Structure 1
Amino acid sequence: MPRPKSKEELIVLSQKNLDKLIGMVNNYPEQKTVQEFPAGTLNRNIKDVLAHLHTWHLMMLEWYKVGMNGDNPAIPSLGFTWKTLPELNRKIQDENKGLPLSKAINLLLESHGEIHKIMDKHTDEELFEKKRYHWTGSTSLAAYLISNTSSHYDWAIKLIKKALK
Protein backbone atom coordinates (compact mmCIF):
# COMPACT_ATOMS: atom_id res chain seq x y z
CA MET A 1 0.00 0.00 0.00
CA PRO A 2 1.36 3.46 -0.86
CA ARG A 3 1.88 6.15 1.76
CA PRO A 4 -1.44 6.90 3.50
CA LYS A 5 -3.38 9.91 2.28
CA SER A 6 -6.43 9.60 4.54
CA LYS A 7 -7.24 8.79 8.14
CA GLU A 8 -8.62 5.40 7.11
CA GLU A 9 -5.50 4.51 5.13
CA LEU A 10 -3.30 5.69 8.01
CA ILE A 11 -5.10 3.48 10.52
CA VAL A 12 -5.30 0.46 8.21
CA LEU A 13 -1.65 0.53 7.11
CA SER A 14 -0.38 1.13 10.61
CA GLN A 15 -2.30 -1.85 11.96
CA LYS A 16 -1.47 -4.03 8.94
CA ASN A 17 2.27 -3.43 9.28
CA LEU A 18 2.22 -3.98 13.04
CA ASP A 19 0.29 -7.23 12.60
CA LYS A 20 2.78 -8.33 9.95
CA LEU A 21 5.71 -7.53 12.26
CA ILE A 22 4.28 -9.24 15.32
CA GLY A 23 3.13 -12.23 13.25
CA MET A 24 6.62 -12.60 11.80
CA VAL A 25 8.23 -12.43 15.24
CA ASN A 26 5.74 -14.91 16.70
CA ASN A 27 6.40 -17.35 13.83
CA TYR A 28 10.13 -17.48 14.41
CA PRO A 29 11.40 -20.45 16.41
CA GLU A 30 12.63 -19.44 19.87
CA GLN A 31 16.32 -19.67 18.94
CA LYS A 32 15.76 -17.09 16.17
CA THR A 33 13.95 -14.69 18.50
CA VAL A 34 17.04 -14.41 20.69
CA GLN A 35 19.64 -14.68 17.93
CA GLU A 36 22.13 -11.83 17.82
CA PHE A 37 22.15 -9.75 14.65
CA PRO A 38 25.36 -9.39 12.62
CA ALA A 39 28.09 -7.13 13.96
CA GLY A 40 27.58 -3.50 13.06
CA THR A 41 23.81 -3.61 13.50
CA LEU A 42 22.82 -1.17 16.25
CA ASN A 43 19.80 -3.14 17.42
CA ARG A 44 21.35 -6.45 18.41
CA ASN A 45 18.24 -8.67 18.30
CA ILE A 46 14.48 -8.69 17.78
CA LYS A 47 13.81 -7.46 21.31
CA ASP A 48 15.99 -4.41 20.71
CA VAL A 49 14.05 -3.56 17.55
CA LEU A 50 10.67 -3.84 19.29
CA ALA A 51 11.87 -1.82 22.29
CA HIS A 52 13.17 0.80 19.85
CA LEU A 53 9.74 1.07 18.22
CA HIS A 54 8.01 1.32 21.60
CA THR A 55 10.36 4.07 22.78
CA TRP A 56 9.76 6.05 19.61
CA HIS A 57 6.01 5.69 20.24
CA LEU A 58 6.54 7.16 23.70
CA MET A 59 8.50 10.06 22.23
CA MET A 60 5.72 10.68 19.68
CA LEU A 61 3.12 10.66 22.44
CA GLU A 62 5.17 13.24 24.36
CA TRP A 63 5.65 15.43 21.28
CA TYR A 64 1.91 15.34 20.70
CA LYS A 65 1.04 16.17 24.30
CA VAL A 66 3.48 19.04 24.57
CA GLY A 67 2.75 20.37 21.10
CA MET A 68 -1.02 20.26 21.46
CA ASN A 69 -0.68 22.14 24.75
CA GLY A 70 0.89 25.00 22.80
CA ASP A 71 4.50 24.38 23.71
CA ASN A 72 7.43 23.27 21.57
CA PRO A 73 8.34 19.62 22.17
CA ALA A 74 11.95 18.49 22.23
CA ILE A 75 12.09 16.63 18.92
CA PRO A 76 13.50 14.05 18.67
CA SER A 77 14.33 14.06 22.39
CA LEU A 78 15.73 16.40 25.04
CA GLY A 79 19.45 16.83 24.45
CA PHE A 80 19.37 15.26 20.97
CA THR A 81 18.95 16.52 17.42
CA TRP A 82 18.27 14.72 14.15
CA LYS A 83 22.05 14.83 13.58
CA THR A 84 22.68 13.00 16.87
CA LEU A 85 20.07 10.32 16.18
CA PRO A 86 22.58 7.44 16.36
CA GLU A 87 23.47 8.50 19.92
CA LEU A 88 19.79 8.67 20.86
CA ASN A 89 19.17 5.22 19.42
CA ARG A 90 22.15 3.82 21.36
CA LYS A 91 20.69 5.36 24.52
CA ILE A 92 17.34 3.70 23.77
CA GLN A 93 19.09 0.35 23.32
CA ASP A 94 21.02 0.75 26.58
CA GLU A 95 17.88 1.68 28.50
CA ASN A 96 16.11 -1.49 27.32
CA LYS A 97 18.95 -4.01 27.75
CA GLY A 98 17.30 -6.18 30.39
CA LEU A 99 13.84 -6.17 28.80
CA PRO A 100 12.52 -9.64 27.89
CA LEU A 101 11.08 -10.14 24.40
CA SER A 102 7.57 -10.86 25.71
CA LYS A 103 7.57 -7.55 27.62
CA ALA A 104 8.87 -5.67 24.56
CA ILE A 105 5.99 -7.09 22.50
CA ASN A 106 3.42 -6.13 25.13
CA LEU A 107 4.83 -2.62 25.51
CA LEU A 108 4.86 -2.13 21.75
CA LEU A 109 1.24 -3.26 21.42
CA GLU A 110 0.24 -0.96 24.29
CA SER A 111 1.98 2.13 22.93
CA HIS A 112 0.69 1.37 19.41
CA GLY A 113 -2.82 1.50 20.89
CA GLU A 114 -2.07 4.91 22.41
CA ILE A 115 -0.83 6.20 19.05
CA HIS A 116 -4.03 4.93 17.42
CA LYS A 117 -6.07 6.95 19.92
CA ILE A 118 -4.48 10.06 18.41
CA MET A 119 -5.35 8.90 14.90
CA ASP A 120 -8.92 8.11 15.94
CA LYS A 121 -9.67 11.52 17.44
CA HIS A 122 -8.60 13.64 14.45
CA THR A 123 -10.26 14.29 11.12
CA ASP A 124 -8.55 13.82 7.75
CA GLU A 125 -7.93 17.55 7.60
CA GLU A 126 -6.46 17.70 11.11
CA LEU A 127 -4.17 14.78 10.29
CA PHE A 128 -3.03 15.65 6.78
CA GLU A 129 -3.06 19.45 6.49
CA LYS A 130 0.52 20.72 6.47
CA LYS A 131 1.46 23.47 8.96
CA ARG A 132 -1.84 23.04 10.81
CA TYR A 133 -0.03 22.71 14.14
CA HIS A 134 2.92 24.92 15.04
CA TRP A 135 4.89 22.03 16.51
CA THR A 136 4.85 19.93 13.31
CA GLY A 137 6.67 22.65 11.41
CA SER A 138 6.15 22.54 7.67
CA THR A 139 4.64 19.06 7.67
CA SER A 140 1.49 17.39 8.96
CA LEU A 141 0.57 15.45 12.06
CA ALA A 142 0.04 12.43 9.81
CA ALA A 143 3.65 12.60 8.64
CA TYR A 144 4.79 12.17 12.24
CA LEU A 145 2.32 9.34 12.80
CA ILE A 146 3.32 7.53 9.61
CA SER A 147 7.00 7.82 10.51
CA ASN A 148 6.33 6.39 13.96
CA THR A 149 4.02 3.56 12.86
CA SER A 150 3.63 2.06 9.38
CA SER A 151 6.98 3.26 8.00
CA HIS A 152 8.84 2.37 11.19
CA TYR A 153 7.23 -1.08 11.31
CA ASP A 154 8.23 -1.65 7.68
CA TRP A 155 11.81 -0.68 8.56
CA ALA A 156 11.74 -3.17 11.46
CA ILE A 157 10.42 -6.00 9.29
CA LYS A 158 13.15 -5.45 6.71
CA LEU A 159 15.88 -5.16 9.35
CA ILE A 160 14.84 -8.35 11.14
CA LYS A 161 14.54 -10.36 7.91
CA LYS A 162 17.95 -9.19 6.70
CA ALA A 163 19.63 -9.79 10.06
CA LEU A 164 18.24 -13.30 10.51
CA LYS A 165 19.02 -14.61 6.98
Structure 2
Amino acid sequence: MVRPTTKPSLMADADSNYQKLNQLIDSMTEKELSIVFDFSDDDRKKEAHWGRDKNLRDVLVHLYEWHQLVLNWVVANMKGEDRSFLPAPYNWKTYGVMNVAFFEKHQNTSLDQSKEMFEKSHQDVLKLADTFTNEELFTKGTYKWVGGSTLGSYFASATASHYDWAMKKIKAHIKNCKGIKN
Protein backbone atom coordinates (compact mmCIF):
# COMPACT_ATOMS: atom_id res chain seq x y z
CA MET A 1 0.00 0.00 0.00
CA VAL A 2 1.35 3.39 -1.03
CA ARG A 3 1.38 5.95 1.77
CA PRO A 4 -0.89 8.95 1.14
CA THR A 5 0.80 12.27 0.50
CA THR A 6 -2.30 14.47 0.29
CA LYS A 7 -5.26 15.06 2.56
CA PRO A 8 -7.78 13.68 0.03
CA SER A 9 -5.78 10.47 -0.37
CA LEU A 10 -5.35 10.15 3.41
CA MET A 11 -9.08 10.46 4.00
CA ALA A 12 -9.99 8.17 1.08
CA ASP A 13 -7.47 5.48 2.08
CA ALA A 14 -8.56 5.56 5.72
CA ASP A 15 -12.22 5.26 4.74
CA SER A 16 -11.61 2.61 2.09
CA ASN A 17 -9.57 0.35 4.37
CA TYR A 18 -12.05 0.90 7.19
CA GLN A 19 -14.86 -0.28 4.92
CA LYS A 20 -12.82 -3.28 3.70
CA LEU A 21 -11.94 -4.23 7.27
CA ASN A 22 -15.56 -4.08 8.35
CA GLN A 23 -16.67 -6.15 5.35
CA LEU A 24 -14.08 -8.76 6.25
CA ILE A 25 -15.23 -8.78 9.88
CA ASP A 26 -18.87 -9.06 8.80
CA SER A 27 -17.96 -12.07 6.65
CA MET A 28 -16.48 -14.00 9.57
CA THR A 29 -18.41 -17.11 10.59
CA GLU A 30 -19.25 -18.05 14.16
CA LYS A 31 -16.52 -20.69 13.93
CA GLU A 32 -13.94 -18.11 12.84
CA LEU A 33 -15.03 -15.78 15.62
CA SER A 34 -14.87 -18.50 18.29
CA ILE A 35 -11.54 -20.13 17.42
CA VAL A 36 -8.47 -18.63 19.09
CA PHE A 37 -6.00 -17.00 16.71
CA ASP A 38 -3.00 -19.34 16.51
CA PHE A 39 -0.15 -18.74 14.10
CA SER A 40 2.44 -20.84 15.95
CA ASP A 41 2.76 -23.30 13.06
CA ASP A 42 3.83 -20.60 10.61
CA ASP A 43 7.57 -19.93 10.78
CA ARG A 44 7.11 -16.71 8.78
CA LYS A 45 4.95 -15.15 11.50
CA LYS A 46 7.63 -14.42 14.11
CA GLU A 47 6.72 -10.84 15.08
CA ALA A 48 5.33 -10.54 18.61
CA HIS A 49 1.84 -9.48 17.49
CA TRP A 50 1.24 -12.88 15.86
CA GLY A 51 1.39 -14.46 19.30
CA ARG A 52 -0.21 -11.60 21.22
CA ASP A 53 -3.65 -11.19 19.66
CA LYS A 54 -5.93 -14.15 20.36
CA ASN A 55 -9.18 -12.99 18.75
CA LEU A 56 -10.94 -10.25 16.82
CA ARG A 57 -11.51 -8.22 19.99
CA ASP A 58 -7.76 -8.05 20.59
CA VAL A 59 -7.18 -6.73 17.07
CA LEU A 60 -9.93 -4.11 17.37
CA VAL A 61 -8.82 -2.82 20.77
CA HIS A 62 -5.27 -2.57 19.43
CA LEU A 63 -6.55 -0.34 16.63
CA TYR A 64 -8.64 1.64 19.12
CA GLU A 65 -5.66 2.24 21.43
CA TRP A 66 -3.50 3.46 18.54
CA HIS A 67 -6.30 5.83 17.58
CA GLN A 68 -6.18 7.12 21.15
CA LEU A 69 -2.44 7.69 20.87
CA VAL A 70 -2.95 9.90 17.81
CA LEU A 71 -5.94 11.73 19.27
CA ASN A 72 -4.31 12.45 22.63
CA TRP A 73 -0.97 13.42 21.11
CA VAL A 74 -2.38 15.81 18.53
CA VAL A 75 -4.94 17.45 20.84
CA ALA A 76 -2.40 17.97 23.64
CA ASN A 77 0.25 19.44 21.37
CA MET A 78 -2.23 21.70 19.61
CA LYS A 79 -3.12 23.07 23.07
CA GLY A 80 0.55 23.81 23.65
CA GLU A 81 1.24 20.83 25.92
CA ASP A 82 4.55 19.21 25.01
CA ARG A 83 3.65 15.53 24.69
CA SER A 84 5.46 12.66 22.98
CA PHE A 85 3.50 10.37 20.68
CA LEU A 86 4.25 7.33 22.82
CA PRO A 87 3.37 7.82 26.48
CA ALA A 88 6.04 7.41 29.16
CA PRO A 89 7.71 5.09 29.91
CA TYR A 90 7.52 3.76 26.34
CA ASN A 91 9.65 4.62 23.34
CA TRP A 92 10.08 3.23 19.83
CA LYS A 93 12.34 0.47 21.17
CA THR A 94 9.79 -0.62 23.83
CA TYR A 95 6.45 0.04 22.15
CA GLY A 96 5.90 -3.73 21.93
CA VAL A 97 5.60 -3.76 25.71
CA MET A 98 3.01 -0.97 25.42
CA ASN A 99 1.04 -3.08 22.93
CA VAL A 100 1.01 -5.95 25.44
CA ALA A 101 -0.26 -3.51 28.09
CA PHE A 102 -3.10 -2.54 25.70
CA PHE A 103 -3.86 -6.24 25.20
CA GLU A 104 -3.96 -6.88 28.96
CA LYS A 105 -6.04 -3.76 29.64
CA HIS A 106 -8.86 -5.03 27.41
CA GLN A 107 -9.19 -8.68 28.38
CA ASN A 108 -12.58 -7.88 29.94
CA THR A 109 -13.76 -5.80 26.98
CA SER A 110 -16.42 -7.62 24.96
CA LEU A 111 -16.29 -8.04 21.20
CA ASP A 112 -19.34 -5.79 20.86
CA GLN A 113 -17.72 -3.11 23.01
CA SER A 114 -14.50 -3.35 20.99
CA LYS A 115 -16.45 -2.87 17.76
CA GLU A 116 -18.19 0.22 19.15
CA MET A 117 -14.94 1.67 20.51
CA PHE A 118 -13.16 1.09 17.21
CA GLU A 119 -15.99 2.62 15.18
CA LYS A 120 -16.15 5.74 17.34
CA SER A 121 -12.38 6.23 17.51
CA HIS A 122 -12.07 5.80 13.74
CA GLN A 123 -14.63 8.58 13.27
CA ASP A 124 -12.85 10.75 15.86
CA VAL A 125 -9.49 10.33 14.11
CA LEU A 126 -10.94 11.23 10.70
CA LYS A 127 -12.79 14.20 12.18
CA LEU A 128 -9.56 15.47 13.73
CA ALA A 129 -7.53 14.88 10.55
CA ASP A 130 -10.13 16.82 8.60
CA THR A 131 -9.49 19.94 10.72
CA PHE A 132 -6.01 20.26 9.21
CA THR A 133 -5.12 21.60 5.78
CA ASN A 134 -3.23 19.54 3.23
CA GLU A 135 -0.12 21.61 3.98
CA GLU A 136 -0.44 21.13 7.74
CA LEU A 137 -0.75 17.38 7.25
CA PHE A 138 1.94 16.81 4.64
CA THR A 139 4.59 19.53 4.92
CA LYS A 140 7.58 18.57 7.05
CA GLY A 141 8.44 21.07 9.75
CA THR A 142 4.93 22.49 10.07
CA TYR A 143 4.74 21.36 13.69
CA LYS A 144 7.95 21.08 15.71
CA TRP A 145 6.41 18.34 17.88
CA VAL A 146 5.99 16.02 14.88
CA GLY A 147 9.77 15.79 14.41
CA GLY A 148 11.19 14.87 11.01
CA SER A 149 8.01 13.31 9.69
CA THR A 150 4.64 14.74 8.71
CA LEU A 151 1.49 14.86 10.78
CA GLY A 152 -0.36 13.09 7.98
CA SER A 153 1.98 10.11 8.24
CA TYR A 154 0.81 9.54 11.83
CA PHE A 155 -2.83 9.67 10.77
CA ALA A 156 -2.09 7.23 7.93
CA SER A 157 -0.25 4.86 10.26
CA ALA A 158 -3.10 4.81 12.76
CA THR A 159 -5.77 4.29 10.11
CA ALA A 160 -5.26 2.87 6.60
CA SER A 161 -1.89 1.21 7.26
CA HIS A 162 -3.01 -0.26 10.57
CA TYR A 163 -6.26 -1.48 9.02
CA ASP A 164 -4.21 -3.21 6.34
CA TRP A 165 -2.22 -4.93 9.12
CA ALA A 166 -5.47 -6.02 10.80
CA MET A 167 -6.91 -7.42 7.55
CA LYS A 168 -3.77 -9.48 6.92
CA LYS A 169 -4.00 -10.95 10.41
CA ILE A 170 -7.73 -11.70 10.15
CA LYS A 171 -7.33 -13.25 6.69
CA ALA A 172 -4.52 -15.48 8.00
CA HIS A 173 -6.79 -16.55 10.87
CA ILE A 174 -9.66 -17.32 8.49
CA LYS A 175 -7.29 -19.38 6.33
CA ASN A 176 -6.16 -21.30 9.43
CA CYS A 177 -9.79 -21.99 10.38
CA LYS A 178 -10.49 -23.58 7.02
CA GLY A 179 -7.98 -26.31 7.91
CA ILE A 180 -9.61 -27.06 11.28
CA LYS A 181 -12.24 -29.79 11.42
CA ASN A 182 -15.33 -29.22 13.57
CA contact (8 A) 1:71 1:135 kept: no
Matches within 5 A, 1:65-80: 65-80=75-90
In structure 1, the residue matched to 2:18 is 18
Give the whole-Å Cα distance in 1 for the aligned partners of 2:100 and 2:162: 17
Asked whether 1:150 is paired with 2:160, we answer yes
Matches within 5 A, 1:78-93: 78-93=88-103
Give the whole-Å Cα distance in 1 for the aligned partners of 2:8 and 2:85: 26
Secondary structure of residue in 2 paired with 1:77: coil
Secondary structure of residue in 2 paired with 1:76: coil
Larger-gyration structure (1/2): 2
Question: Given residue 79 of structure 2, which amino acid in structure 1 is its aligned partner?
Answer: N
Which ranges of structure 1 fall in alignment gaps of 5 or more residues?
none
Identify the match of residue 49 of structure 1 among 51, 54, 59.
Answer: 59
Name the TM-score, length of structure 2 as normaliser: 0.86
Q: Deviations over 1:18-61 (max 9, x none)?
A: 11111101111122123211145211111100010001101110
Give the whole-Å Cα distance in 1 for the aligned partners of 2:100 and 2:117: 19
In structure 1, the residue matched to 2:104 is 94
Q: Deviations over 1:72-114 (max 9, x none)?
A: 2132122111111111011000001011111111110100111
**Per-residue deviation at 1:163?**
2.7
In structure 2, the residue matched to 1:139 is 149
Give the whole-Å Cα distance in 2 for the aligned partners of 1:164 and 1:87: 27
How many residue pairs match? The answer is 165
Give the whole-Å Cα distance in 2 for the aligned partners of 1:132 and 1:35: 46
Q: Deviations over 1:114-139 (max 9, x none)?
A: 10111211111011011211111011
Which ranges of structure 2 fall in alignment gaps of 5 or more residues?
41-49, 176-182
Percentage of identical aligned residues = 33
Secondary structure of residue in 2 paired with 1:149: helix
CA contact (8 A) 1:25 1:33 kept: no
**Per-residue deviation at 1:71?**
2.6
**Per-residue deviation at 1:142?**
0.1
